[in-house]
Amino acid sequence: MEKISISKRLFTLFLAFVMLASFITFTPTTAYASTHGGTISIDGYDFYILWNNSEGVGIRHNDGTSQFVFELNLESADISVTAAHVNPLTRSSTTETFQINLNPNFSYISGHDIRGVELVNSATNETFNLDSIQRSRFVFAIPIGIPLTHAAVSALLAIAMAMVIGGVAYISASQVQHSIRNHHTHQYFSAILQGGDVWIGNALSFNDARVVVGRNHTARGVWATNFGNASALLGGNHTTPELHFGNGMFYTHIHPFMAFNMRGHVHVWFS
């Protein structure tokens, strides 16, 4: 009996060693070089920052048996996740890629409730509505945990200092106002005033920017690359430059004079 017991203990130790070695040497199918570093923790999930630049953000989460790489493309506002799972005994791995679709009718801001999210398997097009699954008894059927997915979306937005509204990614003006000043391709960008900050979105043509101004909306305006372009957009008929306080930053802007020389509500900010 003693020999059998010793044999069992030896086999258990050997199995544990195999599992540990498999985890340590595990490399996902898609490898990413770290260009930023650092970690961020959201709702108890730790994410390692793989990259953070003007094109987007990449983060990684490892739960011990699986590794997830989440990517945010700031130009398209697309979010994807690559999930690599490893079998600790066979050391074989499987990889799945999913698109994380955000509902265009919702606003997505880090620190706020994340809802209306769908997971779409890139290979099979199988779609998982996270809200519906969360309300059902079949949460176990989701290929990637719902809390993890929500935390990852929030982490990506927090790192990029961005939010997504109507399928468009808006970045905090504090992050990009200086780089926009040297933009040679576009002179105008959509801009939103929300939460005490100004958020800069997609590029606009001169005519599209004029449409935004014509709507005269306080919270939805235009960001111009410089004062000259801002003034030209309003035909030179505008207030003198003003300062708008937001999130500890001063953002210079002008307002148009509308009919009967009334000051318009819409903001035209400029770098």
The pLDDT confidence band at residue 243, using thresholds 50, 70 and 90, is confident
Quote the CA–CA distance of 51 and 36 in Å, as a whole number: 5
Determine contact, residues 39/59, Cβ cutoff 8 Å.
no
Contact 153, 118 (CB under 8 A): no
In whole angstroms, what is the distance from residue 191 CA to residue 222 CA?
5
Q: Which tokens is 116 given?
A: 């209306």
> Sorting pLDDT into bands at 50, 70 and 90, what band is 133?
low
The answer, yes or no, to whether residue 191 has pLDDT greater than 80, is yes
pTM, 2 dp? 0.75
Distances (CA, A) of 252 to 51, 174, 261, 269: 31, 12, 21, 6
User: DSSP for 136-157?
Assistant: SS-GGG-SS-HHHHHHHHHHHH
Which of helix, strand or coil describes residue 46?
Answer: strand
**Structure-derived torsion over alpha carbons of residues 25, 29, 32, 38, reported in degrees to the nearest 10:** -50
Q: Can you tell me the distance from the alpha carbon of 74 to that of 179, in angstroms, rounded to the nearest whole number?
A: 15
| CA gap 182, 225 in Å, rounded | 7
* Domain parsing of the chain, residue ranges: 27-161, 167-270
CB 88 within 8 A of CB 19: yes
First to last CA, the chain: 81
**Where is average pLDDT lowest: 10-14, 38-42, 191-195, 221-225?**
10-14
Residue 205's pLDDT band (boundaries 50, 70, 90)?
very high
CA atoms within 13 A on the CB side of 205: 2
Q: What is the pLDDT of residue 87?
A: 74
The per-residue pLDDT for range 161-190, each reduced to its tens digit, is 999 998 899 999 888 888 888 777 899 999
What amino acid is encoded at 87 in this protein? N
Per-residue HEC secondary structure of 74-130 comes to CCCCEEEEEEEEECCCCCCEEEEEEEEEECCCCEEECCCCCCCEEEEECCCCCEEEH
pLDDT above 60 (res 64): yes
Q: How far is CA 50 from CA 40, 167, 249, in A?
A: 11, 24, 28
* Phi, psi at 25, each rounded to 5°: -90, 0
If pLDDT is split at 50, 70 and 90, which confidence band does 20 have? very low
- How many angstroms separate the CA atoms of 110 and 155, rounded? 7
pLDDT at 30 over 50: no
Alpha-carbon distances of 80 from 108, 121, 191, 210, rounded to whole Å: 16, 10, 25, 34
